[in-house]
Amino acid sequence: MREALSRGRTHPDHESEYRALYQRDRDRIVHSAAFRRLQYKTQVFVSVMEGDYYRNRLTHTLEVTQIARTLARALGLNEDLAEALALAHDLGHGPFGHSGEHALNVEMRSEGGFDHNAQGLRVVDLLEQRYARFPGLNLTYETREGYAKNYVRGAGAATRQDARTTRAERPRLALGFAPDESPTLEVQLVGHADEIAYDTHDLDDGLVSGALSDEQVRVVPLWRQAEDQVVAEYSVLKDDQRLRWRTVVRRLIATLVNDLLAETRRRLDAQDIRSLEDVRKAENELVCFSATLAPRKLELETFLMDNFYLSPRVREKTELWQERLRKLFAAYRNNPALLPDEHRRRAQTKGESLDRVICDYVAGMTDRFATRQWERLAIAD
């Protein structure tokens, strides 16, 4: 993506003398309230309950950004755009990780459900109020497009939403972006940087917390291979478990990154991709893992799903938090006067439904703020 080819911003805006287009997108994201709140939102563990070692959405986001920038630079893509996309990719998540998302989805069923990507777009287009000249952050088309297109189609998409979507569903999921255009290489890349980050850091968090064991992870071929390699290279790792885990995790990141780079270069070459137009027209994913690695990676993701995300230790909390969010939602429904003025006003003046306004407010909450509100409101009734 070249800045000269950008489809620009939604509202008229001035240009900066010394910052380029996507640099400004990045800066606006970093200065947003939603970005700061990521630090108290859960990735897998509920951060306030489980200790300070584990990833939260902010540290996850920073790891995704690091990997995305490395990939973008290695492939000669637009590093500023990749960075902005990565920093923005999780802004639409509510409190309490996937359990929170599930609860919001149930509450919002009459409105078509809750999707963190659609919510992310609402955050950057509407809910962030920082500028007198326009609502939202007025980001460029290309950065906003990440919310609609970070589910890439094609091979290796087995764990992604788009693998299950039909052509007829695409316009709805495209959130107003051209449904038949392929996403830019930068968008495709950030989707995979996200996977590389959580596939590997969730292993680390799982092992260190004791939710996963050494014996369990050795069942995963990708893990076992990497472990055999690093132990053969450094004998000290045989006896030092923590150092071994960290070395294996690092080796796994390198394995995934190197494979993605090689396969992407191969595809760009094989399909003679030379311009943005070529990328937009391409039928299949261009930034992609190889046919050898993709099934190995899927095994790892299935393992994490069965043994970590759905483990009793993580799930026990899941049900508790879902119940709390449902009660919180009900409290605001019963008494909308409990909502802050700015949110209530949107229901009155912008014609937004009460449920939508409650959802925007609740989805913006951090884990600990939602907990405090629940203690205040839901316990009381």
What is the rounded distance in angstroms from the CA atom of residue 189 to the CA atom of residue 170?
Answer: 20
CB of 89 to Mg ion, least distance (A): 5
Q: How far is the CB of 44 from Mg ion (least distance, A)?
A: 11
Closer of 28 and 55 to Mg ion (Cβ): 55
- Would you say 268 or 363 has its CB closer to Mg ion? 363
* Separation CA 355–CA 378 (nearest Å): 17
Backbone angles phi, psi at 42, to 5 degrees: -75, 145
Cβ closest to Mg ion, residue 62 vs residue 294: 62
Closer CB to Mg ion, residue 80 or residue 90?
Answer: 90
Q: How far apart are CA 146 and CA 61, in angstroms?
A: 14
Nearer to Mg ion, 68 or 252 (CB): 68
What's the min distance (Å) between Cβ of 318 and Mg ion? 18
Q: Is 67 exposed, middle or buried (0-12, 13-18, 19+ CB in 10 A)?
A: buried
What does the longest C-alpha to C-alpha distance in the chain come to?
67
Exposure string for 156-179, b = 16+ CB within 10 A, e = fewer: bbeebebeeeeeeeeeebebebee
Least Å distance between CB 149 and Mg ion? Answer: 15
Closest separation in Å from C-beta 60 to Mg ion: 6
Q: Which is nearer to Mg ion, 142 or 194 (CB)?
A: 194
Q: Which residues bind Mg ion (CB under 5 A)?
A: 90, 194
Distance CA(326)–CA(107), nearest Å, equals 7
Q: How many CB atoms lie within 10 A of CB 27?
A: 15
Measured from each CB, the residue nearest to Mg ion is 194
Distance in Å, CB of 194 to Mg ion, minimum: 4
Q: Are 129 and 100 in contact (CB under 8 A)?
A: no
